[in-house]
């Protein structure tokens, strides 16, 4: 099943791919590796999930925000690649949680992102991962995630 068909089957809605908010590229490609800049939790209406997890919002709302980051990142990857089926696997993920000082469940929050990638890409969506707490994130967003993604090798004709 194609990734597009999987997204439809899961009844997922990708937001509009966000424009860079600074002087950087959302995706940088080196050979068959994509380095995906940090993405925030964009809702379909263009607003962001905001609030400090464990203080202003609940852990469950943080999980929802992390899932929204996944959808946002997929939108950026689709815009960059044209076809999400070009992705072989997610290699490494760094999840950052805007967390209250005493919050301890950063990995559970970032599971919102990771669970989505496994739903869409199956085992190829399961990456090496770090999940850390931050004192703040830009615009008071709840979660930010960056990733390293490997593309499928292009089929080469036999000689």
Of 140, 60, 141, nearest to 108 by C-alpha is 60
Percent of the chain with pLDDT over 90: 93
Q: Is the pLDDT of residue 154 over 90?
A: no
The predicted model gives 31-40 an average pLDDT of: 97
Q: How far is CA 141 from CA 9, 38, 42, in A?
A: 29, 12, 9
Task: Write down the mean pLDDT value for the chain.
Answer: 95
**φ, ψ for residue 19, nearest 5 deg:** -85, 150
Percent of the chain with pLDDT over 70: 97
Contacts of 1 (CB under 8 A, 6+ apart): 9
Query: What are the residue ranges spanned by the domains of the chain?
Result: 27-151
CA distance 96 to 80: 23
| pTM for the whole structure | 0.94
The predicted model gives 34-56 an average pLDDT of: 96
Under CATH, to which class is 27-151 assigned?
alpha beta
Rg (CA), the chain: 16
Question: pLDDT for 2-14, tens place per residue?
Answer: 999 999 999 999 9
Q: Is the pLDDT of residue 44 over 90?
A: no
3-state secondary structure 78-141: HHHHCCHHHEEEEEEEEEEEEECCCCCCHHHHHHHHHHHHHHHHHHHHCCEEEEEEECCCHHHE
The predicted model gives 64-68 an average pLDDT of: 98
Q: pLDDT value at position 108? A: 98
Question: pLDDT for 108-152, tens place per residue?
Answer: 999 999 999 999 999 999 999 999 999 999 999 999 999 999 999
């Amino acid at each position: 099943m194609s990734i597009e068909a999987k997204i439809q089957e899961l009844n997922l809605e990708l937001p509009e791919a966000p424009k860079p908010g600074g002087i950087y590229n959302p995706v940088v490609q080196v050979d068959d590796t994509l380095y995906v800049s940090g993405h925030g939790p964009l809702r379909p209406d263009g607003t962001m999930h905001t609030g400090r997890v464990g203080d202003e919002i609940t852990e469950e709302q943080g999980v929802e925000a992390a899932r929204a980051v996944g959808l946002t990142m997929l939108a950026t990857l689709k815009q960059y690649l044209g076809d999400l089926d070009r992705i072989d696997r997610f290699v490494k993920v760094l999840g950052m949680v805007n967390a209250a000082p005493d919050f301890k469940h950063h990995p559970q929050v970032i599971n919102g992102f990771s669970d989505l990638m496994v739903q869409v890409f199956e085992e190829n969506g399961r990456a090496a991962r770090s999940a850390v707490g931050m004192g703040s994130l830009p615009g008071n967003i709840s979660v930010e995630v960056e990733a390293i993604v490997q593309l499928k090798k292009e089929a080469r004709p036999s000689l």
